[in-house]
């Protein structure tokens, strides 16, 4: 019996992935638990293990293929006694290769694989077009049946669609099934729902064709765009700001590193902020919560997700139960997570979940900023740079190192008073770091 191997969902939010590498070839015998492929998601590169035993009959998706939807067949497995297809496995296309150059050459036919349905134009005629060309045409409202393809066998490719988009509006053939493009926002009446205006191309917004380079969206950037848009649109959020004097904290940090540096301890301000936030969440447990349609989920532990910048975006590895860990352990875990995040070696359980987020841009000289909530967290903290500022002490001017902190709150979970109570507790731990030892 032949079994299909499909693109697995390696995380609850995964919709597609890149097939980075095959570890097997046609004719190989595999068994459950054997690593057969590497899949790139928007956050990491992960190994895929076989679930069934058998012989690889066909590899349906080539190495380097991007944007493979979850549950799409990627290989077939012949059962015991069945012969594998003698066809060689598909050639590698090269990681990151998209349309352009030779990327539009037709893929080798897969024997015994069902033929892909041909795309159709607005009039129902069969149109040969690459997947990327179809996506660009869909986004730009272009009717593929009105384009002359420049690819093999008249296939419509990316360059053909881009040329149509850059042509004067009178020469562009609108899709027959496309809704009319709105040139201004529709007015809404009380109680009505406003439909977002269709997306316009840069040319339609006055940017001259050929005056920019277009960098294709990778999976990480697509996911960030989608999740942040949904969060900013759907979560009723508000910011709270506070200034914290950190001279005592800096002194304590210096003493800890001096005393224990020979043991490999190197505590950062960020490590101390993680610990302080965790303790503040335990002191104000109502703030360590998430909104759900069934009620407010109050979490048992302060699982702190920390934003780490990587090529193409960012990722938020988690310090689990941070309130239970000392500064040295937090520092060690954070350094390890950040290093593996940058090389995309994190496991899903190391960056999915958490109860609270921290984004620190102080090392970049940013004085103050606000972040977008990382659902399902009820808050996200934005930490700015510590700098010397004039302050008033005992009715006299003085100089202190001050750090500005902003928390963005989900008002469904954390209202103003609760958020202020949390910030007061957080400031208390930073301004008196010895309290973190109690």
- Joined together, the tokens standing for residue 255 give 């003493």
Residue 344: phi and psi, rounded to 5, are 55, 45
As a whole number, mean pLDDT of residues 364-391 equals 97
Q: Which residue has the higher pLDDT, 428 or 156?
A: 428
Q: Which of 181-185, 209-213, 271-275, 422-426 has the lowest mean pLDDT?
A: 181-185
Supply the residues annotated as catalytic.
411
As a whole number, mean pLDDT of residues 160-184 equals 56
As a whole number, mean pLDDT of residues 176-189 equals 40
- What would the pLDDT profile of 219-259 be if each residue is shown by its tens digit? 888 888 989 999 999 999 999 999 999 999 999 999 999 99
* Predicted local confidence at residue 305, as pLDDT: 98
Question: Where does 181-289 have alpha helices with state H?
Answer: 219-234, 247-260, 269-283
* Predicted local confidence at residue 132, as pLDDT: 67
Residue 433: CA atoms inside 13 Å, Cβ hemisphere, count?
A: 22
Q: Could you state, in order of their start, the residue ranges of all structural domains in the chain? A: 3-78, 117-176+195-215, 222-437
* Predicted local confidence at residue 374, as pLDDT: 95
Superfamily of domain 222-437: Chloramphenicol acetyltransferase-like domain (3.30.559.10)
Residue 312 DSSP label: T
* Predicted local confidence at residue 118, as pLDDT: 40
**Residue 112 scores a pLDDT above 50:** no
As a whole number, mean pLDDT of residues 92-99 equals 40
Compute the distance between CA of residue 312 and CA of residue 63 in angstroms, rounded to an integer.
21
Topology of domain 117-176+195-215, per CATH? Dihydrolipoamide Transferase (4.10.320)
Dihedral sign (CA 124, 126, 129, 131): positive
* Predicted local confidence at residue 51, as pLDDT: 84
**Residue 23 scores a pLDDT above 90:** yes
- What would the pLDDT profile of 342-359 be if each residue is shown by its tens digit? 988 898 899 999 999 999
Confidence of residue 437 (pLDDT cuts 50, 70, 90): confident
Q: Which residue has the higher pLDDT, 163 or 389?
A: 389
Q: What is the pTM of this model?
A: 0.63
Confidence of residue 165 (pLDDT cuts 50, 70, 90): confident
The two counts, helices (H) then strands (E), for the chain are 7, 18
Note if the bond before 47 is cis, omega within 30 degrees.
no
Confidence of residue 131 (pLDDT cuts 50, 70, 90): low
Question: How far is Cα of residue 103 from the mean position of the Cα atoms in its chain?
Answer: 26
Topology of domain 3-78, per CATH? OB fold (Dihydrolipoamide Acetyltransferase, E2P) (2.40.50)
When the pLDDT of each residue in the chain is averaged and rounded to a whole number, the result is 83
Residue 264: exposure state from Cβ atoms within 10 A (0-12, 13-18, ≥19): exposed
DSSP per residue, 396-427: EEEEEEEEEEEEEEETTT--HHHHHHHHHHHH
* Residue 112: how many other CB atoms lie within 10 Å: 11
As a whole number, mean pLDDT of residues 74-93 equals 60
**Residue 287 scores a pLDDT above 70:** yes
As a whole number, mean pLDDT of residues 373-381 equals 96
């Amino acid at each position: 019996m032949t079994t299909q191997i499909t693109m697995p969902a390696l995380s609850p939010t995964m919709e597609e992935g890149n097939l980075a590498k095959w570890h097997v070839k046609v004719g190989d015998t595999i068994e459950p638990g054997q690593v057969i492929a590497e899949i790139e998601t928007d956050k990491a590169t992960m190994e895929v293990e076989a679930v069934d035993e058998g012989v690889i009959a066909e590899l349906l998706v080539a190495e380097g293929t991007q944007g493979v939807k979850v549950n799409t067949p990627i290989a077939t497995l012949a059962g015991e006694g069945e012969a594998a297809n003698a066809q060689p496995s598909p050639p590698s296309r090269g990681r990151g290769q998209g349309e352009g150059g030779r990327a539009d050459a037709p893929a080798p036919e897969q024997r015994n694989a069902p033929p892909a349905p041909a795309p159709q134009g607005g009039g129902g005629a069969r149109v040969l077009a690459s997947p990327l060309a179809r996506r660009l045409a869909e986004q730009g409202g272009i009717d593929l049946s009105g384009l002359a393809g420049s690819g093999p066998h008249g296939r419509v490719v990316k360059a053909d669609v881009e040329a149509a988009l850059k042509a004067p509006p009178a020469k562009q053939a609108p899709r027959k099934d496309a809704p009319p493009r709105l040139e201004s926002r529709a007015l809404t009446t009380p109680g009505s729902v406003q439909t977002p205006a269709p997306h316009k191309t840069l040319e339609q917004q006055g940017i001259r064709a050929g005056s920019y380079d277009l960098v294709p969206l990778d999976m990480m950037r697509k996911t960030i765009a989608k999740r942040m848009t949904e969060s900013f649109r759907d979560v009723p959020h508000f910011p709270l700001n506070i200034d914290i004097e950190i001279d005592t904290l800096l002194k304590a940090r210096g003493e800890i590193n001096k005393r224990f540096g020979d043991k490999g301890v190197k505590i950062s301000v960020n490590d101390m902020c993680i610990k302080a936030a965790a303790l503040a969440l335990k002191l104000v447990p109502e703030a360590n919560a998430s909104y759900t349609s069934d009620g407010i989920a109050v979490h048992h532990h302060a699982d702190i997700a920390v934003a780490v910048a990587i090529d193409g975006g960012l990722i938020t590895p988690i310090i689990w139960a941070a309130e239970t860990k000392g500064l040295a352990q937090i520092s060690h875990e954070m350094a390890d997570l950040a290093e593996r995040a940058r090389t995309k070696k994190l496991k899903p359980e190391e960056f999915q979940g958490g109860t609270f987020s921290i984004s620190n841009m102080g090392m970049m000289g940013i004085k103050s900023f606000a972040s977008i909530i990382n659902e399902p967290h009820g808050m996200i903290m934005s930490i700015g740079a510590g700098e010397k500022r004039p302050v008033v002490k005992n009715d006299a001017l003085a100089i202190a190192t001050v750090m500005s902190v902003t928390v963005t709150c989900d008002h469904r979970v954390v209202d103003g008073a609760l958020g202020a109570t949390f910030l007061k507790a957080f400031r208390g731990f930073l301004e008196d770091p010895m309290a973190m030892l109690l």
